Structure 1
Amino acid sequence: AIELILSKIQNRQWLVDEKKDDGFTALHLSALNDHCLVAELLLTKGNASINAQNISLQTALHLAVGRQHLQIVNLLCSKNANVNLADKDGDTCLHEALRHHTLSQLKQLQDVGDSGRVYIYVKIMYGSIKKNSRRM
């Protein structure tokens, strides 16, 4: 259904990035709800703006990392999402990943982002993440 809709609006690109009152685009919603195929179609067929920010300045990557949707995180990173954009609280996707203790996401962010800075954060946080996971 999404592919059909995208084929009908090819001449109206702005519809793909149309924002709701909260600033969410279709890509934000697909990332939030772990709809990887929809996100991929929006990016490849709909040419969605991968770094669009909602009213809280969150990107689709912020939302995917926050919800620990690894497949979407991988997709967005592979399509060159900006991992250094900060939300309204000044948090990047890395901060979000550290908050949720998702080492696999940290590794993915390291692969595409500022690897030196990410590496330092991972090294610093790994001890506390490892300790916290033992307590659970």
Structure 2
Amino acid sequence: KKSLIESNNRKSFQECCILLLDYLATVNVDDCEECLIVTGPCRGSVFIRDCKNITVFTISQQFRSRDCINIDVFLFCTTKPIIESSKLMRFRSLTLSYDKVEASLSPFINNWNNVHDFTPDDVPNFEICITVSSQLILYFFTYI
């Protein structure tokens, strides 16, 4: 499959709202700036590259970013999210109701907060942002 940018014959998107509200196999987003990106359940990977100042809402098997700066990610992900050469990444749990079964994703496995950083720096390149609903879920499962 072609990337989002290639399939639209665009080199980049700026100040756009991109909604991909269907079940997807893979999503590649390249060179976007000041954008909102929302995807439906993705049975494969969502790969964000060379993006700045974007917000992403996504449900996926795998999430990856490379060479990104200042990204807010609202995520439901069955594997550990991976970042590489990215900075100022903020991860939040996606608390959106969507039929994940159609994309073969278990609604019970969400690793949104188990980020693996391949960036060689010793400084933190990402932040885990806990919302009230995330705190309640963590509390519930901690004391059961």
Instruction: Report the structure, 1 or 2, having the larger helix content.
Output: 1
Q: Name the TM-score class by shorter chain.
A: 0.3 to 0.5
Q: TM-score, length-normalised on structure 2?
A: 0.37
Larger radius of gyration: 1
